[in-house]
Amino acid sequence: MTDKVILLTGYPPFGRHTLNPSGLVAEALNGREIRGYRVVGVTLPCDYKLMPPLLVGLIEQLRPVVIIGSGLAFGESQFRIERVGLNLLDFGSVSDNGGHLLKGEPAVKDGPTAYFTTLPLLKVVERLRQEGIPAYLSSHAGGHLCNHMIYTALHLVTQMDIGRPLVGFIHLPALPHQAAAEALRDNLPLCAPSMSLDLILQGLEIVIQESILGLDSLNRD
């Protein structure tokens, strides 16, 4: 397997949401070559029991140099770039797709409290804004499966001899037709903020490009 793999993950619809743009973009970018690196896009199960072993297997098999997770943040208006993965599973009122509703459980028993993500975060936000795509840094990804993905990946790469790939997570807005359909379904006065699939795809390509540049800079050092 090539040592120039970018692993991009997304999730399927969950809860009351009928779409999840993160799974769509993972599928759309799967197989794409960007700056000489091959993107492997995978939709992970939105199930706290099924997701970790699949993610671990992908990382062990592919040995990616960059791991980028993505997920839906319904109600968000822009790219939300996450700084930290917490050792926390706290699903609030939204069960995962396996029907599990965790309340304050650790993602990894006796694991560190948190890990910092390792993408070039400031460069990513700056470049997205330069290209006209709203973006900002977020302290952490909450306590659901998006946070679980970050923590699982970061915990694994600290344990494995795989060259410490860059790891990060991007929360995405809803799609316009999704926001409209859900407002219609729920009889809401306002639709949730949204972003077109084309713009989301462009933004994730930028995230990948900047991650590769950050990786190349580290390799030069």
- Please name the helix (run of DSSP H) or strand (run of DSSP E) that holds residue 169, with its range, or none: strand 166-172
Q: Is 171 a catalytic residue?
A: yes
User: Residue 160's pLDDT is what?
Assistant: 82
pLDDT at position 151 over 80: yes
Per annotation, catalytic residue among 46, 76, 82, 140: 82
> Considering only CA atoms, which of 197, 149, 210, 215 is closest in space to residue 27?
197
**3-state secondary structure at position 160:** coil
Number of domains in the chain: 1
pLDDT tens for each residue of 2-16: 469 999 999 999 999
Q: Is 126 a catalytic residue?
A: no
Per annotation, catalytic residue among 146, 148, 182, 210: 146
Structure tokens at 207: 């995230």
pLDDT tens for each residue of 70-103: 999 999 999 999 999 999 999 999 999 999 999 9
User: Residue 156's pLDDT is what?
Assistant: 94
| Residues making up the chain, counted from first to last | 221
CATH classification of the domain holding 51 = 3.40.630.20
- Domain with 38, as residue range(s), is 5-220
pLDDT at position 1 over 60: no
Mean pLDDT of the chain: 95
- Please name the helix (run of DSSP H) or strand (run of DSSP E) that holds residue 68, with its range, or none: strand 66-72
pLDDT tens for each residue of 173-217: 999 999 999 999 999 999 999 999 999 999 999 999 999 999 877
Q: What is the pTM of this model?
A: 0.95
- Asked whether the CA dihedral 218, 117, 13, 192 is positive or negative, the reply is negative
Per annotation, catalytic residue among 155, 171, 182, 210: 171
